[in-house]
Structure 1
Amino acid sequence: MSIIGSFIKKAVDLGEALTHYDSPVEEQEKVLRDLLETAKDTAFGKHYNFETILESDTLFKTFAERVPSHDYDKINDNWWHRTLAGEADVTWPGSPDYFAVSSGTTSTSKHIPVTDEMISAIRRAGIGQVLALSEYDMPPDFFEKEILMLGSSTDLKEVEGHLEGEISGISASNIPSWFEFYYKPGKEISGIEDWDVRVQRIAEEAPNWDIGSLSGIPSWIELMLKKVIEYHGLNNIHEIWPNLMVYTSGGVAIDPYIESLNKLMAHPLIYIDTYLASEGFLAFQSRPETKAMKLVLNNGIYFEFVPFQDRFMAEDGTVRPDAPVLNSMEVTEGVDYVLLISTVSGAWRYMIGDTVQFTDVERGEIIISGRTKFYLNVVGEQLPVNKMSDAVQKLSEQKGISIKEFTVAAVRREDGEYINSWYLGADEAVAQSDDVAQLLDDALRESNKNYDVARSKALKGVEAKVIPTEMFTKWNERTKKKGGQVKMPKVMKEEDFREFEAFVEGR
């Protein structure tokens, strides 16, 4: 069988298994039993007596009652720091060869264990996503084209017996041999640490590749495409990659970037969302009729859902022990839920930091609605990120501009009163005018009752400034690093916001 036939067969066989099953609840019970059985002799498994949990007739309920929820700081301080120090059998059997290092948008730095089992699960989910392309009426020869994956460097750092890097770099460094035929920019270029040098090499090699799909964070993909176009003096990217048809995004919302990406194309691409985090590959868009993503419920990750309400959240930001815990068939469509995951990398009832909404319970399809800590509620605003994004999108349409990035903070004025201060990133030159803040404020008041109440009481005003999108990119480059999975926080603490404000103003 040819390598192309082998690729398609692997996609069909593995993908079908991931996307088709009779009972989501039964699949999730099997996943949880496998996780508990595998980890029962670890320090964590003994501490929480996984043996007796496995004997329960109400497995989901008993697991939720016996094992507390964890955010990164809690599980790291109590458990994962031991794994990082080289101790074996802490929350998962053995010692992981890899740690995913994330600069984080809710924590300063994270070291998340990545086991061989998780690498295999990510690989299976990726193949399942490839299978889903068959739902998009792709031409047969599409599966012969190459895939350009613009992630973080695959030149992982060796630290005290393990390797560290971003999850995209770890995944790319472990691609199966049969996939190397399709994978671009290839191991040599992807191993270049300096992002600008790596993109320069991509531009130089671009004529030698037949790219059919792209994968990566939208802001960095756009910069890479512009570099290729500039380097070769092109009108659009299809002049060098005529068979480019698909862009697979992940990590951030793609919608604000579609308009500007389309300007770099001879024709629009098919845009597909995925949910790949440092902790695992959770979901992917499996059909063209919706932008929602299908949870991968039978691939080493057990999911729990807690209604995102103040009364269910503890002061430390974790889920309260008495909070209701639901499985994927008990949820209600359109409701925000805190997502908890337990995984084959030894995460247990772990708050990944996202809130999700189900759009189709039967299909197990979700959208990411916000972040548990990207939630503005200093003086009662109670603004989740999805409401902010909707308001920004409405402002974009009203002003006729494409706003790709934003950040906001509740800041205290000199008179002691609070206001919401916004920075909005757009490529177009925008004349600053008072109506930007007014339009944004109006949209938020119209869509969010709690915000409207706060504006009549403790929240005394709104300020908004439109700045070039590149200012967000430069800030990320200065404070973290360029490329990879670097993302701008949508909500900042006042102290961090003041630093960003000083950077924007050149102070």
Structure 2
Amino acid sequence: MEIIGSIIKGAIELKGALSSEANHIEAQEKVLSHLLKKASNTEFGKKYGFELILQSDEIREDFAKEVPHFDYHQLYDEWWHRVIAGEENITWPGSPDYFALSSGTTGKKSKRIPVTNDMIEAIRKAGIKQVEALSNFDLPASFFEKEIMMLGSSTDLVERDGHLEGEISGISASNIPFWFEGYYKPGKKIAQIDDWDTRVQRIAERAKDWDIGALSGIPSWMELMLQKVIDYHNVENIHQIWPNLQVYTSGGVAFAPYEKSFNKLLAHPITVIDTYLASEGFIAYQERPETDAMKLITDNGIYFEFVPFQPEYINQDGSLKQDAPSITLERVETNQDYVLIISTVSGTWRYIIGDTIEFTDVERAEIRITGRTKFFLNVVGSQLSVNKMNAALREVEEKFNTEIPEFTLAATRIDGEFNHHWYLGTETTADNQTLAEALDQSLKNANKNYKVARNKALKGVKVTKVPVEIFAEWSGGQKKKGGQVKMERVMSEEKFSEWETFVSETISN
């Protein structure tokens, strides 16, 4: 009998039994009041009258009325450039010890997002909540003695002007508690290797030395790592190396597009648990096995607002119009995409994080990530969100019994007429034209606006098949392999031209 595992599992179950479900609306009111009080004497808090807002009988309404929403560039230009320069008490008391580097999915130049000690503590508490939720997943006691492979970015943070910089996964891993170090793999030495390919090679070389029970990381990069380990040891699946692997925790990316290709690397299914850790904070985690939706963390340093994701509120470049109305948690509905806006203990105020979400259960505050605001394709009225694109591709996968884990597309013009050109990462034997017809029909059947556009201004759909690994090489060339890097799903015509040149040169070589 696994004595240590049984003790840990019993403690987790007891903690879960003693914990009561938070009232999410009340929790959010407390979080907002705490944020406003703590930041009231900062430069930001003084400008926007936080002390007066705190005296209001309608704090949430007045907060939304008095404080504009910001994207990264607006917040940087007006405030964060001073924080980065080392000034104190600008958007949060003191100055942050860390900055999370994030190029997101749209640009080469890294954003620098403040990460305060308050945020480090909030992320730690959120991690504990996630561990406590494992008691709901009927895992054996032996699982709690196994090691955890956390495949993030390098933990070798860069010192710059008195603070440390790196991706949020690297910052989080560099702050793991001492008692967890024995469970954490690949360990500090390998995790500090900056070059992705070298780091994965070292993981492959050491893989048989570890008894991995859980994996954590972005699906696309996790697949590449697992395949490398499998190839290095010349085995058929990862369970021949890690027979006790039982859990995979994905992060910040919908797992559904990768499910079929991921499962091919396994000897048998494992428990998949979704989490939502962004550069701006730990936003949500999957609490129960009956659903793949995640529960917003409403009592832990992040205040949430939501803007209905509708064309009249979105600019052509995917940014949010300043007069777009926001709502709070008690007014959200299911079956509606929302742009997520957050205010946090890192001095992030009414910040447009760039993701869209939908609620699957309002009372439980459970959500799914549905896409990115900048990946909303509305040229000539087609109104395609990433969620709709993914749903159509899952139908195509079923029809042709294949996997399509990666894709990108753009609205291009041929002789002055708009077309959608899709690049699909797949090994299917179906030809490009057949795939284009099937994809086009799936989108027509499911989306009224798309069907109307196809009968008018959207003249055609083109598909080009490419090897899946090209997407990873593109991400590596554009930004950096591994970590929080995610593939852009919708490209501008200019970026798409670069992509097509890259694909052509890569295949010819």
TM-score normalized by structure 1? 0.95
Map 1:332-351 to 2 at 5 A: 332-351=333-352
Distance in 1, matches of 2:498 and 2:322, equals: 37
Q: Does 1:93 align with 2:90?
A: no
Distance in 2 between residues matched to 1:304 and 1:471, nearest whole Å? 37
Deviation for aligned residue 1:312: 3.1
Using the size of structure 2 for normalisation, the TM-score is 0.95
Q: CA deviation at 1:310?
A: 2.8
Aligned residue-pair number? 503
Partner of 2:405: helix, strand, or coil?
A: strand
Q: Unaligned regions of 5+ residues in structure 2, if any?
A: none
Partner of 1:362: 363
Q: Structure 1 residue 328 and structure 2 residue 329: aligned?
A: yes
User: In structure 1, what residue type is equivalent to 2:381?
Assistant: G
After the TM superposition, which residues 165-176 of structure 1 pair with which residues of structure 2 at under 5 Å, given as runs?
165-176=166-177
Matched, 1:237 2:250: no
Q: CA deviation at 1:465?
A: 1.0
Instruction: Work out the CA distance in 1 between the residues paired with 2:54 and 2:291.
Output: 38
Q: Distance in 2 between matches of 1:85 and 1:316?
A: 29
Contact kept, 8 Å, 2:319 with 2:374, in 1: the verdict is no
1:412-469 Cα offsets, whole Å, 9 max, x none, are 11x111111110101x253424121111111111111111111111111111111110
Contact 1:121/1:300, CA 8 A, preserved across alignment = yes
Q: Which amino acid aligns with 2:288?
A: R
| Distance 1:117-1:8 versus aligned 2 partners, 3 A rule | farther
Q: Do 2:410 and 2:421's aligned partners in 1 also have CA atoms closer than 8 Å?
A: yes
**8 Å Cα contact 2:319/2:373 also seen in 1:** no
- What is the deviation of 1:321? 5.0
Whether 1:34 aligns to 2:34 is: yes
Could you tell me how far apart the structure 1 residues matched to 2:134 and 2:94 are?
36
Matched position secondary structure for 1:238: helix
Q: In 1, distance between residues paired with 2:357 and 2:195?
A: 34
Task: Give 3-state SS (helix, strand or coil) of 2:460's partner.
Answer: strand
Name the SS for the 2:349 alignment partner: coil
The aligned runs of 1:54-73 (5 Å cut-off) are 54-73=54-73
* 1:430 is the counterpart of 2:429: yes
CA contact (8 A) 2:219 2:255 kept: yes
**Aligned residue for 2:481?**
482
Q: 1:141-180, aligned counterparts within 5 Å?
A: 141-180=142-181
User: What secondary structure is seen at the aligned counterpart in 1 of 2:27?
Assistant: helix
Structure 1 distance, partners of 2:80, 2:316, is: 22
Deviation, 1:150, is: 0.4
Distance 1:13 1:322 in 2: 47
Output the amino acid matched with 2:63.
Answer: F
Rounded to whole Å, the distance in 2 between the matches of 1:130 and 1:492 is 37
Say which is worse superposed, 403-412 or 224-233, in terms of deviation. 224-233
Instruction: Check if 1:418 corresponds to 2:396.
Output: no
Partner of 2:471: 472
What's the CA shift for 1:107? 4.5
CA distance in 1, matches of 2:250, 2:98: 24
RMSD of aligned residue pairs (Cα, Å): 2.0
Structure 2 Cα separation of the partners of residues 20 and 354 of structure 1: 29
In the other structure, the counterpart of 2:78 is: 78
Give 1:318 deviation, angstroms: 5.0
Compared CA separation, residues 164 and 13, structure 1 to 2 (3 A): farther
CA distance in 1, matches of 2:236, 2:459: 48
What's the secondary structure of 2:330's corresponding residue?
coil
Asked if structure 1 preserves the Cα contact closer than 8 Å seen for 2:318 and 2:376, the reply is: no
Task: Give the whole-Å Cα distance in 1 for the aligned partners of 2:412 and 2:106.
Answer: 19
Letter in 2 for 1:445: K
- Contact 2:432–2:462 (Cα < 8 Å) also in 1: no
Does structure 1 residue 394 correspond to structure 2 residue 389? no
CA displacement 1:272-293 (0-9 Å, x = unmatched): 1111100001001111111111
> Structure 2 matches for 1:146-225, cutoff 5 A?
146-225=147-226
- Taking the aligned partners of 1:446 and 1:38, their CA distance within structure 2 comes to 51
- Equivalent position SS for 2:379: coil
Query: 5+ unaligned residues in a row in structure 1: which ranges?
Result: none
Question: Offset at 1:249?
Answer: 0.3
